Amino acid sequence: MTKNIGREDRAVRVVAAIGLAILAYYAGLSQVATIVVWVLAAYLLLTGLLGICLFYKLIDVDTSIQEQPYSTTDDRSGL
């Protein structure tokens, strides 16, 4: 499978996963809520580390593609 998550997106996912894991551990949520938060944190951590997101694949999103450099109007007109 090809990677479809960019560098910035991966960093945000890992940080969010760590935050959710801390929340699940210390917040004293109900058992169901704690399980949901742990599963979400695990998914974010795995996708952040691997660079592959199944939900992005389903909706055809790819944040790993680098933006094209800015071009002037002279470059676009062929001059």
- Whether the pTM exceeds 0.85: the reply is no
Residue type at position 71? S
Q: Mean pLDDT over all residues of the chain?
A: 86
pLDDT band, residue 2 (cuts 50/70/90):
confident
pLDDT digits (tens, 9 = 90+) for 12-21: 999 999 999 9
Sign of the torsion angle spanned by Cα atoms 41, 46, 51, 57: negative
Looking up tokens 């890992």, which residue turns up? 14
**Residue pair 6/56 in contact by the 8 Å Cβ criterion:** no
- Report pLDDT for 48: 93
pLDDT digits (tens, 9 = 90+) for 50-68: 999 999 999 988 888 765 5
